[in-house]
Structure 1
Amino acid sequence: MNINQFTYYYFIGIGGIGMSAVARYFHQMNKKVMGYDKTSTTLTKLLTKEGIKIHFEDTLEAIPKALTPDNTLVIYTPAIPKNHLELNYFKDNNYNIIKRSEALGYITQETTCLAVAGTHGKTTTSSLLGHILKVANLPSTAFLGGIVENYNSNIIIGGNEISVVEADEFDRSFLQLSPDYACITSMDADHLDIYGDQSEMEKSFLEFASIVKKQVFAKTGLNVPGALSYGVEEKADYFADNIQIKADYFIFDLTHPQGKIETIPMHLPGRHNIENAVGAIAMAMKMNVAENKIKEALDSFQGIKRRFTRHKTSSGKIIIDDYAHHPTELNAIIRATQNFYPNKSVTAVFQPHLFSRTRDFLDDFAQSLAVLEDLIILEIYPAREEPIPGITSSLLAEKIELINDKKPKVCSLENALREISHYDNDIILLMGAGNIDTLYEPLKNKIQ
């Protein structure tokens, strides 16, 4: 199938972070893009403003009469329920129907594909890579899992010869891709509801590495046959050294097989982001990006929404919002906060994401969060899941108390602002992948 042959592109679940990037891709190609989502969000409002028609009721009456099986491609997310009226209409009438991962698979077949996989770090690494290629004026498009501040978008459009793709391991979606180069940022256990255990998940990553046509890069410590390593350790093929922390940014050198790039500036916090930057630079070098363009891109990269997004109030207090929802990510964000603000007190607010993840990593979450002096835990955000008996935020709080003799406060999202107001710390740190980000703007308005 030639994925570009259709007139209409109909998205079911168009408001998702990954789906909306693909929708924007076809929209910029002057295709007629439209679709359904369950609820109106900031992202769907942006899509509508860009000229994409979206409705929020699952009804056949919303499907335009002009759509036929010959002129329309239907793209859907697996999160859509099986009894969805519109999806079943398209199935019953023999429309071309594919998942988002399959759409990306077709796109990557027609381009030089740079794919970034990993349970943590893939959004930042792929966004940095997409920005580097854009600054270097290479004909590329980056499909991302976050909103890049420089573009206020989850897609960076600069041409159709190179694709940068955030390769999602969730349901083995990344095996649909056709990567020429790939980077694996991490293989920590996650999505155990899908994989069962970590060894099965690692097998999936190794299978992904095996389909890469030219070169795989893997963070130091990951056992990926044939991969070039990167990181902050000197034993890596690509590594950062001479790392310096300035006022609120890093400067580092990068040693690579052909030499060294000196004094690279980067405004993202945390050692983990230096590793992400090294991975992005290693892949960009395979596209022959000039050294000065790499440094220009790293210096100008403004970050990703909900990845250590910071706001300083007029009173000097700092609000940080981050997507961290796995113990490894919590460790990285807490460490970054401590490194950048070593003498400031912190009120941390964590919203667990998924009952299954909370169950699978309960002890690890407790160890990560026990280092925090003032901690509020919100009720578990269920997303696609039903509650699991006995798995609650209160259970997590009890586990933390066993470690540090201090039981965190547990409350609902609705009561969070009131609970936060009981603390008078320098920093408010919001962490979680659910809807905890809805506290960010109210906090900015409340704390002047």
Structure 2
Amino acid sequence: MNLKKINFFYFLGIGGIGMSSLARYFNTMGKTVYGHDQNKTFLTKELEKEGISINYHDNIEILPKWILSKECLIVYTPAIPKHHKQWTYLKKYGKNIKKRSQVLALITENEICIAIGGTHGKTTTCTLLGHILYSVGMNVTAFLGGISENYQSNLILNNVLNGRKFFLVEADEFDYSFLYLSPNIACITSFDQDHVDIYPIENDLKKAYVAFSNRIKKPYKKIFLCKEECKKESFICGNTIYYSVIKKDNYYANHLYIKKNKWYFDFHTPRETWKSLPLPIPGLHNLKNVTAALAISDYLKITQKEIRKALFLFKGIKRRYSIHYQSSKKIYIDDYAHHPTEINALISTVKKCFPNKKILGIFQPHLFSRTKFFEKSFAKSLENLDILILLDIYPARELDKKNGINSNNLLEKIRISYKEISTLAKVLEKIKKKHFDIILTMGAGDIDTLIIPIKKWLNKQYG
């Protein structure tokens, strides 16, 4: 398909983080962009402010007149329910229909593409790398899986005349989406099992990543792997570049230390050592992500001076260790953590940053299949909290797959004294009755709707 001949775009599920970055991209290209989503959110409101029309009702009468034209591309996410009326109609009568990942592949197929994959850390790695490339004036378009605090968007776009154009994308393993991509440079941050509805057997996930690595093409044809996360025997090829925060390898980081509540580290390239770089997001897990972004940046011949400046100016990503309130009495941090490994890393980091503080955690499990599969691991990670308020499971695409799974099953396995279940609507009243130093909200569902109410209460109560 030639995207230049497409003048109209209709996004089914436009409020998704991956879908919205594509919608923004085509909107900036001067195309006519419409979309549908179930709910009006902060992100959909931002898209509407940018001139994108969005409807929130599932009926076909409100579809634009050009929807069945050959000049229209209908873009959908696999999360759209099968019984969805608009989706049923468009599948039957639409002329051009593509998955989000297929469209991303079309955009990048004839350009230099850098793809960041992995269970954890791809959004942080991708956002920081996009920020570095933008900061040094490269011709870069980055599609992000989170909202950059620097650019207040999940799309970084720097159309400059000089230099070859680079596209930076996240390689999403869900539904084998990343196998549509053919990047020139790839990075795999970790191999943890996560989407168990797609990869019920761990070996299936590893095979998918090997297949992804085999799609890397010239020029460059390089893959960056985290040494401690990736088993070397799975990727025996001459095009592998390793990075690490434990072992001395092609690229590695060490001497992580905290000074006046700020984190610093040393970074080693194959040629030199860069001393006392700032770690913009705290935690050993984020050091891995930053090391990956710096390794790729150095490989692209960006200088230490330019990278150091970009690190100092990096403001982070929304919902990645986002501190929303901090006073001498209370601290409130929100994070996207929705996997046991991510929860462990988050709580460990909070304890290092704020030792001897009483932590109240509010966690919203995401997906019935994930909750069931990782039930014991979730329980163990949540036991690192002092107090837990566990929310109902956010079903996302699994509305009809409860199979008797609920948050009570998980709560029973968590061995801490202070724990309880709550609905999203009642959680703020429960928080007000707790004794704590730090609040953590964690999860990938709609738990982010608590951020503003919690901030308002803290500001009113503690100034």
Picking from 176, 179, 184, the partner of 1:172 is 176
In structure 2, give the amino acid aligned to 1:10.
Answer: Y
Per the alignment, residue 383 of structure 1 pairs with: 396
TM-aligned CA deviation for residue 58 of structure 1: 2.5
Range with greater deviation from structure 2 (62-71 or 134-143): 62-71
Aligned to 1:211: 215
CA contact (8 A) 1:238 1:282 kept: yes
SS at 2:402 equivalent: coil
How far is 1:203 from its partner? 0.9
Equivalent-residue separation in structure 1 for 2:18 and 2:80 (angstroms): 14
Partner Cα distance (1:107, 1:196) in 2: 31
The answer on 1:199 being equivalent to 2:203 is yes
Residues 42-441 of structure 1 aligned to structure 2 (within 5 Å): 42-159=42-159, 161-213=165-217, 214-221=221-228, 222-223=230-231, 224-226=235-237, 227-313=240-326, 316-385=329-398, 386-401=400-415, 404=416, 406=417, 408-441=419-452
- The one-letter amino acid of 1:325's match is H
Q: Could you report, residue by residue, the CA deviation over 1:153-192 in whole angstroms, capped at 9, with x for unpaired residues?
A: 1111113811110110010100001100011011001111
SS of the aligned residue for 2:168 comes to strand
Q: CA RMSD in A?
A: 1.7
CA distance in 1, matches of 2:348, 2:120: 15
Aligned to 2:288, what secondary structure does the other structure show? helix
Question: In the aligned structure 2, how far is the partner of 1:195 from the partner of 1:232?
Answer: 28
| Deviation, structure 1 residue 267 | 2.2
Residue type matched to 1:184 in 2?
I
- Asked if the contact 2:66/2:72 (under 8 Å) is kept, the reply is no
Distance 1:423 1:94, change over 3 A: closer
Q: Distance in 2 between matches of 1:267 and 1:65?
A: 47
CA drift of 1:68 comes to 4.9
Decide whether the 8 Å contact of 2:362 with 2:440 is kept in 1. Answer: yes
What TM-score comes out, normalization by structure 1 length? Answer: 0.95
| CA shift for structure 1 position 313 | 4.6
Distance in 1, matches of 2:157 and 2:364, equals 33
Return 27-36 or 52-61, whichever deviates more.
52-61
| Worse-superposed segment, 426-435 or 342-351 | 342-351
Q: Residues of 2 paired with 1:242 and 1:134: CA distance?
A: 28
For residues 198 and 66 of structure 1, the distance between their equivalents in structure 2, rounded to whole angstroms, comes to: 44
Aligned residue-pair number: 445
Confirm or deny: 8 A CA contact 2:193 2:199 kept in the other structure. no
Any unmatched runs of 5+ in structure 1?
none
- Which stretch shows the higher mean deviation, 122-131 or 341-350? 341-350
> SS of the residue aligned with 1:236?
coil
Measure the CA separation in 1 of the matches of 2:68 and 2:406: 48
Q: Which residue of 2 aligns with 1:32?
A: 32
What TM-score results when the alignment is normalised by the length of structure 2?
0.92
* Secondary structure, aligned partner of 2:197: helix
Q: For 2:320, give the aligned amino acid.
A: R
Q: Any conservation in 2 of the 1:249–1:268 contact (CA below 8 Å)?
A: no
User: 39-48 or 377-386, which moves further after superposition?
Assistant: 377-386
CA contact (8 A) 2:10 2:67 kept: no
Q: Residue 183 of structure 1 contacts residue 217 of structure 1 at CA under 8 Å; is this kept in 2?
A: yes
Show structure 2 runs of 5+ residues with no match: none
Structure 1 stretch displaced more, 386-395 or 135-144: 386-395
Aligned partners of 1:436 and 1:91: how far apart in 2? Answer: 32
For residue 316 of structure 1, report the CA deviation from its aligned partner.
Answer: 3.5
Instruction: Letter of the 1:200 partner, please give it.
Output: D
Distance 1:258 1:4 in 2: 43
Letter in 1 for 2:103: A
Q: Which has the larger displacement, 337-346 or 61-70?
A: 61-70
Q: Report deviation, 1:94.
A: 4.8
Please state if 1:446 is matched with 2:457. Answer: yes
Letter in 2 for 1:216: I
Cα distance in 2 for partners of 1:338, 1:69 equals 56
Change (3 A) 1:85 1:348: closer
Conserved in 1, the CA contact under 8 Å of 2:390 and 2:407?
A: yes
Instruction: Label 1:64 to 1:247 Cα distance change in 2 as closer, same or farther (>3 A).
Output: same
Q: Deviations over 1:201-242 (max 9, x none)?
A: 111111111111211111122123332211212333211122
Q: CA deviation at 1:45?
A: 0.5
Which AA in structure 2 matches 1:396? Answer: L
What is the distance in 1 between the residues matched to 2:294 and 2:83? 45
